[in-house]
Amino acid sequence: MALIRWPAGPGELSEPTSDFERLRQGMEWLLDSFTSPTPAFTSRVFPSINLTEDKDNYYLRAELPGVKPEELDISVVEDQVSIRGERKIPLESKEFGYHRREREDGTFRRTISLPMGVESEKVKAEMNKGILKITMPKHEKAKPRKIQISTPK
């Protein structure tokens, strides 16, 4: 025998146990967010990236303050670019207690898919004031081509 429970509709009372269950789950989530080393509400996307293009190249710019260029590993395979590295943030004095800690440290890896493949042997990367800029030339087949229109004579 199967028992089907329909959610309460307008004007109907819901089951008290389901309300308590939702409350219990909410409290567990809230307590976990305070006790886990990486709270559920923290964004773990590092580094922030912008990807742009013009007719000849794709440009990837990543914010990497405090990361040295020699600590980065950049690879391009077909239509994907990966940035891997480690951000080290020195610990404050052990006498201090944090009120808020949003700057994360540790290893990171971002892999971004490009709309089309690039010529990986011609990719260039430079770093200036914490901004990494990767220039990736498009394959010739990915570049727009002007088509001539012929007319019958």
Q: What pLDDT digit, counting tens, does each position of 101-135 carry? A: 777 788 899 999 999 889 989 999 999 999 999 99
Cα 73 from Cα 32, distance rounded (Å)? 34
Cβ atoms within 10 Å of 132's Cβ, excluding its own: 21
The strands making up 73-77's β-sheet, listed across from edge to edge, are 73-77, 80-87, 106-113
What pTM does this model have? 0.63
- pLDDT tens digits for 51-104? 999 989 999 999 999 899 999 999 998 889 999 999 888 777 778 777 777 777
Domain boundary assignment for the chain: 49-89+105-140
Topology (CATH level 3) of domain 49-89+105-140: Immunoglobulin-like (2.60.40)
* DSSP H or E segment with residue 29: helix 16-35
**24-49 tens-digit pLDDT:** 888 887 777 666 555 444 445 688 99
- H or E stretch covering 18: helix 16-35
